[in-house]
Structure 1
Amino acid sequence: MHHSRRLAFTLIELLVVIAIIAVLIGLLLPAVQKVREAAARMKCQNNVKQLALAMHNYHSGNGQFPIGGQGLPCPGVTGSTVRTPFMPFLLQYFEQDNVYKLYDMNQAFNAAANATAIGIKLKVFQCPSDDERPQFVGSGGAADYKGNYGLNWGRWNYCDQGGPTANAAPLNVGTAGRAPFYERYGARMEHISDGTSNTLMWLEMLQGIGETAPLDRRGRLWNPDSCGYNVSTRFPPNSSTPDYTLCNNNPERGLPCTLGAGDNLNYYMGSRSRHTGGVNVAMCDGSVRFVRNAVDSATWAGASSMAGGEVLGDL
């Protein structure tokens, strides 16, 4: 008696196989995404570490950190008003000497003579977890790129880093809240009496969405106007509290903001990232840490001052 062999799956068997494959893919994708994010976070930490080392190398050669920027009229600040960010001071110290040679310190960042330098994308400032934004085209002829790492700018706003004494604690310490970077100021190590391991240097920030009108200034590294790269600890990392600057409100993208109009001296923005649960930061001793969104607000604010005398909890 002849028996024919079955050469194919039945429909039910095929559906079962497809269902099993779908389940396996569903289990695998989150694991792959976690691996990718872990790799991106590690690359981000390496970027921050490289920039922290550049700061230390600058300090070794110049006896202080580079100035936070110059060009805005904060009360009591004197010196050159040529609009200059921190960036050209630091270039030589993270292997960008060729870009440094293209920059004329005697002219404003947006002068025609500096167009080539500011138009170069510096990869070390790009966190792989964030969107890589196109070239920013602002008023006054500037055409520059954004990045993800900004300077510690205290706990309140651009000119008042410590906050008015009438504020609620911990945003009420006045000049005691001075950060290591300010308008026409870069700290010496001996100024950081709170301890370099207790004082923030670099903080993550997100690149605002808006490179042509309507513009979003957040993340601009070459523009010394407030809240391009000046990061405040006014509220915890990745807070839903809006920034206040020249910006576009995109809370669904983690970029809430209240648009300011010509109020440069009072602008502020918080630390934000695309990492799950927190942001990467560098301390003034060069160490790199991941700070959780749920960090104690007093500890977070206190870590921004260099000589406030605060007793910090776990950062």
Structure 2
Amino acid sequence: MFGFSMRGYCCADAASRPVYSSSRTRFSRTGFTLVELLVVIAIIGVLVGLLLPAVQAAREAARRMSCSNNFKQIGLSLHNYHAAYRQLPRHLGGTWTNGNSPANMNNQMSLSFLVGISPFMEQQALWEQISNPNQRRVDGGIQSPAFPAMGPSPWVAQYVPWQTELPTLRCPSDPGVGLPSFGRTNYAACVGDSIVAMNTGPTQIVNSVLTNPTPVSVVAESQASCRGVFVARRDTRFRDILDGLSNTIMCGEIATDVGDRNTRTIAAIENGTDTIRDEPDYCFHDGLVSPKRPKFWSDGSDGGVSPTLAGADQGRGYRWAHGGTVWTSFNTILSPNRELCLGGAAGDGVNSPGVASISSYHQGGAHVLMSDGAVKFITDSIEAGDFDTPNVQLGGTGGAAPGSKSPYGLWGALGTRASGEVIGEEF
């Protein structure tokens, strides 16, 4: 009567109690162990290490494309200028006053071709400042008397247009910026495959006096040696380019100086124009390049000979408006990215004749602008003939006689406008 089922009690009691496993207690896990975390970090580090060079290469490719686009804009500007005036802008042109008196009232025929095309590069406002008298000074003062139309000499630091840096004239890969330069440029004019008269053309200036008429011998010398698209102080036209616009270099890229004794961007002044004319790689053969760091000039402590270098404010490409050799000129003698070696006395040597090739901060070469407006990348290994051969010149013999094909191979032939050479290979 008072009986009950133990089984029922047990089952009811068991249902009300938690059930424990006979094995050890198990807990769920939501994080990583230290070993797993270190492995993941290591994998990420490896991936970043693999991707970083690719990212850098992609960035440089973008900068190189931007540089090429700038050059195309310059080419279009030159063609528009030619369409408007039936000639190319003069290189080393401008105004002249014998004796340079009064001071700053002329530019001594030293302007680069870039000044002339400035209004065609969407710089109309800048051109208006240049082409009219201007009283503005860099220091904020008022110039009295006013700077003349077409500006003073391109080394006058207080003239605002000469200090203006134009984005179209800069390569994004070039790190050079600021003082002691004026407005920098990474693009220069091709003056041919000879250093003779490259800075004077068919003119003669003695003691700051322009000889008029020009002596016949000076004109003949210029005709024999000045074989590029641009001839200093002389007008040239597309019709003068008998070798074909697509086979002739009109402009080239140059790296600007950053103050590191780089052989491409700061000139060695050797006071021996004739020597350099007859042996274009003279600065290299004379041991001026560091044997330990072949892209830099020797300082005398590395087994080489320390050269006389241009001043700190006379680096390559430092003045976009100046047509002098070191600023905005190049020749097709030494292959791209070779040393900058000029004759003439220290002080004005940067305006003197010498070997001045194209250069850049791109890997392996530099851009050139062909006369038809095409932009090409020329590698350092382009076939460039014999560097020990003298330049073509008046009175030259053998391969240096007037009218000879360029002694500097394919590279030299591309820099001449009417040497009659057939370009039959890729470059």
- TM-score, length-scaled by structure 1: 0.79
User: 1:148-227 to 2 correspondence within 5 Å?
Assistant: 148-157=186-195, 159-160=197-198, 175=224, 178-210=227-259, 214-219=312-317, 220-227=319-326
User: Displacement, 1:54?
Assistant: 0.3
Gap change, CA 1:48 and 1:117, over 3 Å in 2: same
Query: Do 2:173 and 2:361's aligned partners in 1 also have CA atoms closer than 8 Å?
Result: yes
Provide, for residues 58-97 of structure 1, a one-character-per-residue CA deviation record: whole Å limited to 9, x for no partner.
11111111111148xxxxxxxx944322222111111111
Gap change, CA 1:176 and 1:267, over 3 Å in 2: closer
Query: Do 2:176 and 2:258's aligned partners in 1 also have CA atoms closer than 8 Å?
Result: no
The 3-state SS of whatever aligns with 2:327 is coil
1:243 aligns with 2:340: yes
Paired amino acid for 1:117 = P
Aligned partner of 2:414 in structure 1 is: 303
Counterpart Cα distance in 2 of 1:44 and 1:214 = 26
User: 1:245-260 to 2 correspondence within 5 Å?
Assistant: 245=342
Paired amino acid for 1:67 = R
Aligned partner of 2:39 in structure 1 is: 16
Counterpart Cα distance in 1 of 2:187 and 2:196 = 17
Counterpart Cα distance in 1 of 2:358 and 2:177 = 18
1:37 aligns with 2:75: no
> Of 177, 186, 190, which aligns to 1:133?
177
Query: Do 1:148 and 1:204's aligned partners in 2 also have CA atoms closer than 8 Å?
Result: yes
User: Displacement, 1:102?
Assistant: 0.8
Query: Do 2:254 and 2:358's aligned partners in 1 also have CA atoms closer than 8 Å?
Result: yes
The 3-state SS of whatever aligns with 1:69 is coil
Query: Do 2:109 and 2:233's aligned partners in 1 also have CA atoms closer than 8 Å?
Result: no
Aligned partner of 2:203 in structure 1 is: none
Aligned partner of 1:250 in structure 2 is: none
Counterpart Cα distance in 2 of 1:3 and 1:213 = 79
> Of 129, 136, 142, which aligns to 1:102?
129
1:282 aligns with 2:305: no
Aligned length: 277
Gap change, CA 1:147 and 1:107, over 3 Å in 2: closer
Counterpart Cα distance in 1 of 2:194 and 2:333 = 5
Unaligned ranges ≥5, structure 1: 72-79, 138-143, 162-172, 247-258
Counterpart Cα distance in 2 of 1:60 and 1:105 = 22
1:84 aligns with 2:107: no
Counterpart Cα distance in 2 of 1:308 and 1:30 = 44
> Of 145, 164, 177, which aligns to 1:120?
164
Aligned partner of 2:76 in structure 1 is: 53
The share of aligned pairs that are identical, in percent, is 33
Provide, for residues 203-262 of structure 1, a one-character-per-residue CA deviation record: whole Å limited to 9, x for no partner.
1100012499623331131223222110122111123xx21249xxxxxxxxxxxx9554
The 3-state SS of whatever aligns with 2:251 is strand
Paired amino acid for 2:124 = D
User: Displacement, 1:269?
Assistant: 1.6
Unaligned ranges ≥5, structure 2: 1-20, 95-106, 131-148, 200-221, 260-265, 267-309, 385-408
The 3-state SS of whatever aligns with 1:136 is coil
Counterpart Cα distance in 2 of 1:130 and 1:122 = 14
Higher relative contact order (CA 8 A, sep 6+): 1
Q: Of the two, which has the highest radius of gyration?
A: 2
Gap change, CA 1:214 and 1:119, over 3 Å in 2: closer
Query: Do 2:197 and 2:353's aligned partners in 1 also have CA atoms closer than 8 Å?
Result: yes
Query: Do 2:191 and 2:228's aligned partners in 1 also have CA atoms closer than 8 Å?
Result: yes
Paired amino acid for 1:287 = A
The 3-state SS of whatever aligns with 2:117 is helix
Counterpart Cα distance in 2 of 1:198 and 1:282 = 11
What is the Cα-based RMSD across aligned positions, in Å?
2.9
Gap change, CA 1:268 and 1:136, over 3 Å in 2: farther
Task: State the 4+ residue runs in structure 1 displaced beyond 6 angstroms.
Answer: none
User: Displacement, 1:158?
Assistant: 6.2
Aligned partner of 1:232 in structure 2 is: 331
Paired amino acid for 2:186 = N
Gap change, CA 1:213 and 1:111, over 3 Å in 2: closer
Paired amino acid for 1:28 = L
Provide, for residues 155-195 of structure 1, a one-character-per-residue CA deviation record: whole Å limited to 9, x for no partner.
2326259xxxxxxxxxxx98265111121124111110011
1:145 aligns with 2:190: no
Paired amino acid for 2:410 = T
Gap change, CA 1:116 and 1:65, over 3 Å in 2: same
